[in-house]
Amino acid sequence: MLYELLTGEVDAWEIAPRFSDLLVNTGVQFLKDRVKVLSPCDHVGTNGPNVSGCGGTVQLESGLVIEYDWLVLSLGAEPKLDIIPGAAEFALPFSTLDDALKVNEKLTKLERENFGKANPIRVVVVGLGYSGVELAATVSERLEGKGVVQAISVDSSILPTAPPGNKEAALKVLNSRKVELLLGYYVRRIGKSGDFTSSDVAAKDSNPEQLILEVQPTEKGAKTQLLEADLVLWTVGNKSLLPQLEPNGWPFELPVTGRGQAETDETLRVKGHPRIFAVGDSSALRDPKGKVLPATAQVAFQQADFAGWNIWAAINNRPLLPFRFQNFGEMMVLGRNDAAITPSFIDGLTLEGPIGHAARKLAYLIRLPTDEHRVKVGISWLAKSAVDSIATVQSNITKVLSDS
């Protein structure tokens, strides 16, 4: 729900509570630190698995060394900004709370600087998967005619893997908000106007600090184009955080794919390491048909349940369960009072508009981590909804009175 931070619909504490608050009165010990070295000792050798004693140790940057019997790798992923020149320097990703706060800060600054000026704020969104579409819809609504949003995708359509209902709902909203879609294009580089020379494509802007994107159509022989931007939002690609651990035989002691994910068996145990499990973006598990599982929260939530059960089962010498992903559908936000939900268990049904928005918020409310936090957030959202309703009624009354 990071998109709702840009519209002011939610507060950070509601969607990103602190571990110190969530874990009060629990037996969970939380350490805010960074893993430096992972040293597993449960590897399977020629004489079979070595599972005696502890499973290994984890050394933290603070110097603390933790012995473990069982380990779960769940480090997530981060945006891949090294795909093209200039992306890491000039584009902003949108995947963490800090990212969302930086984007909100940048938009607020642009709105303040452009107040009363004729020149529109120009925002370019790179990528038109779910993140790109949700960002384009949210930002275009926020700017409300004060800016121009352009969105770029190498595919010939938005949301290439989405169900038809979600795709149609998104197109309807993007078109109504005049988002310019550049389908079948890819970004070659991002830079400032002053970085473009006569030997390159001629720069369009006299301001040397103006951001410029050089985009190339996928069609052979087509010429490159230049796009001006005040803000570039990057939603293409991600990379696992596992390879960032300092080598100690790592990552060579664990089987890691070219994408930096741990290879696991169907029970989510890392291959060759019976005391280590991997879930979410840290796992390279495929479904029984060999298809790569989507990198979504829905998959990670379900894998967490299976991993938890299987650790208990392993400790108690019970059979471990093979992971089976159940797709419950797909959700997306399209603005302050707009969303689309396509449940997998009802063919052809898509909830969109205010109904979809309410259903999506309810689904996320249920997913919040503790009962206490759910109650606090639910009360907060009801209070905000009541205030918004009163403001809408007052606005309508004022409009009627002014018209009469």
The reply to whether 33-77+239-315 and 79-238 are identical in fold is yes
Q: What is the pLDDT of residue 51?
A: 47
Q: How far is Cα 183 from Cα 294, in angstroms, rounded to an integer?
A: 23
Per-domain residue ranges for the chain?
Answer: 33-77+239-315, 79-238
| pLDDT, tens digit (0-9, with 9 covering 90-100), for 315-336 | 999 999 999 999 999 999 999 9
Which CATH architecture group holds 79-238? 3-Layer(bba) Sandwich (3.50)
3-state secondary structure the chain: CCHHHHHCCCCHHHHCCCHHHHCCCCCCCCCCCCEEEEEECCCEECCEECCCCCCEEEEECCCCEEEECCEEECCCEEECCCCCCCHHHHEEECCCHHHHHHHHHHHHHHHHHCCCCCCCEEEEEECCCHHHHHHHHHHHHHHCCCEEEEEEECCCCCCCCCCHHHHHHHHHHHHHCCCEEEECEEEEEEEEHHHCCCCCCCCCCCCCCCEEEEEEECCCCCCCEEEEECEEEECCCEEECHHHCECCCCCCCCCECCCCCECECCCCEECCCCCEEECHHHECCECCCCCECCCCHHHHHHHHHHHHHHHHHHHCCCCCCCCCCCCCEEEEEEECCEEEEEECCCCCCCEEHHHHHHHHHHHHHHHCCCHHHHHHHHHHHHHHHHHHHHHHHHHHHHHHHHHC
- Tens of pLDDT, residues 342-360: 998 888 899 999 999 999 9
pTM of the model: 0.89
Closest CA to 195 of 186, 184, 205, 185: 205
State the number of CA atoms in the 13 A half-sphere of 146 facing the CB.
Answer: 16
Task: For 99-135, write each residue's pLDDT tens digit.
Answer: 999 999 999 999 999 887 878 999 999 999 999 999 9
Whether the Cβ atoms of residue 216 and residue 222 lie closer than 8 Å to each other: yes
Question: What pLDDT score was predicted for residue 46?
Answer: 43
Tell me the average confidence (pLDDT) per consecutive run of 10 residues in the chain, 404 residues long. Answer: 93 94 91 91 60 76 95 92 94 95 96 87 96 97 93 95 94 96 95 72 60 92 90 93 77 83 94 94 89 87 96 96 93 94 90 94 92 94 87 76 73
pLDDT score at 98: 96
- Residue 256 has a CB neighbour count (10 Å cut-off) of 20
CATH superfamily of 33-77+239-315: FAD/NAD(P)-binding domain (3.50.50.60)
